[in-house]
Amino acid sequence: MKITANTYYNQASQKLKEANDEYNRPEEDIVSYGVCKNSQFAIENFLKGYLMEHEIDPEPFDTINSLYAQCKLLNSRFEEIDLTEFGCDSNTFDSNHCNEKEIEKVNNCYEAADKLDTFLRREKII
């Protein structure tokens, strides 16, 4: 099966929904790893989808920072998305960085993914 931009966007949206479902549980029931990892996966796939849409193979990029930098080269409006509070932006995708217990850190992961989703919808990309 050929992976398309829409495949990445659909996977990203599904993982963002899963992160949202987990995030909106009572605080004592939140599984922070699930929120963070699903948020990371959503961000990764939103960015990969954008690159695919512009006929750039996303596979050589092995961090969110590298994907994000390439997206900013294509569209300077990506600068509007602040990923500085997102803790695992420079880690490789297969790392287990998402071990945050603090709800504020979990919030940062989720908010970064949600802002990227909002940006792509506002730009009428998805």
Q: What is the pLDDT of residues 101-123, one digit of tens each?
A: 555 677 888 999 999 999 999 99
* Mean pLDDT score, 16-25: 92
pLDDT more than 90, % of the chain: 62
Half-sphere exposure for 24 (CA within 13 Å, toward CB): 6
Q: Quick one: pLDDT at residue 28?
A: 76
pTM, whole model, 2 decimals?
Answer: 0.87
Residue 57, φ and ψ in degrees, nearest 5? -70, 120
Q: Quick one: pLDDT at residue 101?
A: 55
Single-letter residue type at 50: Y
Q: Which domains does the chain have, with CATH numbers?
A: 5-122 (1.20.120)
Q: What is the largest CA-CA distance in the chain?
A: 44
Task: Indicate the range of 16-25, 28-37, 68-77, 112-121 predicted with least confidence.
Answer: 28-37
Closest CA to 74 of 86, 92, 56: 56
Q: What is the pLDDT of residues 65-101, one digit of tens each?
A: 999 999 999 999 999 998 876 666 555 555 555 555 5
